[in-house]
Structure 1
Amino acid sequence: MKAEIIDYIRRNRVSATEVADCLNKTGELTAADALNRGHFRVGNVHWMYACDRSNWTVHEQAQEVQPGDVVVVDAFGCGRRAIFGDLVSKYLLLYRQAEALVVRGTLRDAPRLIRENWPVWCDGLTPIGCFNHKPKKLPAKSTLDRHRRKLHGAIAVCDDSGVVIIEKKHHTKAFLKKLEHIEQQEDTWYDCIDRRKWSTFKTVCEKAYLKD
């Protein structure tokens, strides 16, 4: 069912906003804003992490990324240091064929990331990067397990509004029906506004089209 949901979202370009509406206006992955505008990406989440001011674990885990994965990276104990820059971005997007990069931390090499127009979402930019030594202190196992359970194998939908996560518990036929319904609803609402010249109040709040 996950593959069907991803395919439907991609083919119909269901926005992150619409997906969040299907999740009862939840699902936002915070600290992840679009670096380059105009990208729309959806795919299976491959979750990774950096820690202790080091990106050693990112380099290590990047080897397991599969084509089509949306790489989501969390940072623990890295402050505002960039988790990585152009080199890792190029490796993941070009050679591992990742769908997109979502880094809940800062990135460096901004001129290259912008020039290449990579599909990247992050929490800002800085020239100061992490070290590449093996971390001396790892996050608590319970913390890593909690993040992995929630994110690894989920679905990420990324556009200019941000990133929305569809957790594994929602990979159902019922959720696919919600996506189909919201697409139909959007078509109806725009028809009411554009063709019928109704107000947004009459359309969205009163739902007068249901009385026709």
Structure 2
Amino acid sequence: MADIAENPGRRRGVMLVLAAPSGAGKSTIARRLLAEDPMIDLSISATTRGRRKSEEEGIHYFFLTPEAFMEKRDAGAFLEWAAVHGNFYATPRDAVERSLAAGRDVLFDIDVQGAEQLKRKMPEDVVGIFVLPPSMEALKARLNARAEDSKAAMEVRLANATGEIARWHDYEYVVINDDLDDAYDLVRSILRAERAKREYKSVIPHHVEALLGE
């Protein structure tokens, strides 16, 4: 059988949800996946958080005022939304549904609350991967290395990490990011396996039917 990624229209896309406490490395893994796999689309979140100097509108996030965010939420424009670290975050609906219908996979680099909402609303489409740090000391070091975050913001993220880590069992897969290359390879392997499951569910029954009809 040809590489599943070469035949995107033959299956429904995978909603690949990467969740983790801040600083665990999920965004680094996500960026590498997007750079190396042409069949993955990034779900760009909307947020009321202030834009960092390195971020661009429509590439990293859609930056909204609280009023605009609530207006879109009330209009049903979001698949999920959550209040995280004192700001609102959400997943815009239309782009995700278009990608899935076209057989393209959609990558979600989101918070734990958002991941849980997606799993409740679209359980057949979502594959959840929780990324853990090797230790709390490593997590603290990674957060301290973020030059763009204030000390207060880092303290909030670290305080929330314990509760987020305790929910690891809500995910189909868990990856410990002790070595970035190893963690990335494991995430890629998970995606390949989930693509294969969907390929078989959507393609094999039709193929068998055609064989028996010859």
Shared fold (TM-score, shorter chain, > 0.5): no
Q: TM (normalized to structure 1)?
A: 0.30
Question: Is the helix fraction higher in 1 or 2?
Answer: 2
The structure with more radius of gyration: 1
